[in-house]
Structure 1
């Protein structure tokens, strides 16, 4: 007989956490969920979940797919995370408890790797060919902050690192 869920048809956060703890255990040191019961998806002792193309780990539970990093926060805190969960080291497959933190979308975007699609290859540094100098720029909350022009890229990087830490705090990433 199918399990009855909340009125919306989707399991409540409490139901998700209860089922998670019934079927698996979370290892905070490794970031893995280990099956403690044989199920269709795997045997006791196996690591639960599968990797997506983007590196994040998904775990099937109650007929839905959940991101392992969100389940890790739920396991450790007893509540599903609010907005987003950030991987501090930017490795989306690393779900160790020490690598996860709840955050807003804006904070999560501040702590992302730079794709390196600029002339300098450095996030926040623009090269002005006509003036032969470098400009240090940080964007926060859709506002662009310019911190001057510098004759060397090293000077621009130094200033940028300081200003980025002032504006982004723990979520600052070069």
Structure 2
């Protein structure tokens, strides 16, 4: 892993915008003051340092807090992968981070953790491997599952019905 000193030697970070800019030019492609990195295939900003790619949200945390404690990852509060403002970053365990995942692309109910059993015509709700119940309607299953998920994940739970564009504001 890269150290805080190495990051600060090479990059400037603006916690209000979440952007990194190069402090030094170590190649013909890198210009001092240019925005560092690019958006990778899955939507995160990645920055190359010493021949290795690092995710910008992890570098931002290291820049501001020196290190990321073992057993923690960095979570984007609003779920936007390239919004690396400090106010949008928080420490999370893997379990906590599961609370704000999007629905799987094979989901046919439109709601995470809810599926229709075609044989019975009933809706099943679950969190991970835990079965929460069987329901007559989609709304009933979704409401129950959302309430249970809020208890399970607490502040890390996000419904993905409303897209959140900035921390604390719904779009």
Please identify, of 111-120 and 43-52, the stretch whose mean Cα deviation from structure 2 is larger.
Answer: 111-120
Q: CA deviation at 1:22?
A: 1.9
TM-score by length of 2: 0.80
- TM-score (structure 1 length as normaliser): 0.79
1:45 is paired with a residue of what secondary structure?
coil
5+ long unaligned stretches in structure 2: 160-171
Paired residues of 1:116 and 1:123 also in contact (CA < 8 A): no
Q: What is the aligned partner in structure 2 of residue 108 from structure 1?
A: 97
Aligned residue pairs, count: 157
Deviation larger for 25-34 or 74-83: 74-83
1:1-22, Cα deviation, whole Å (9 max, x unpaired) = xxxxxxxxxxx65xx3112112
Q: Which residue of 124, 136, 149 maps to 1:135?
A: 124
Separation in structure 2 between the aligned mates of residue 108 and residue 74 of structure 1, nearest angstrom? 19
Q: Give the direction of change, closer, same or farther, for the CA distance of 1:135–1:42 in structure 2 (3 Å limit).
A: same
Contact 1:124 1:138 in 2 (8 A): yes
CA RMSD of aligned residues (A): 2.0
Counterpart of 1:18 in structure 2 is 5
Q: 1:170 to 1:63 in 2, by over 3 A?
A: same
2:151 corresponds to which residue? 166
1:131-171 CA-partner distances (Å, limit 9, x unpaired): 322122112xxxx3333222221111111111001111122
5 Å matches for 1:145-160? 145-160=130-145
Q: Distance in 1 between matches of 2:106 and 2:30?
A: 42
Instruction: Show CA shifts across 1:7-51 (max 9, x none).
Output: xxxxx65xx311211222111121110122333142222111122
Q: Are the equivalent residues in 1 in contact too, given 2:113–2:127 (CA < 8 A)?
A: yes
Structure 1, gaps ≥5 residues long: 1-11
Q: Which residue in 2 is equivalent to 1:29?
A: 16
Q: Which residue of 2 aligns with 1:8?
A: none
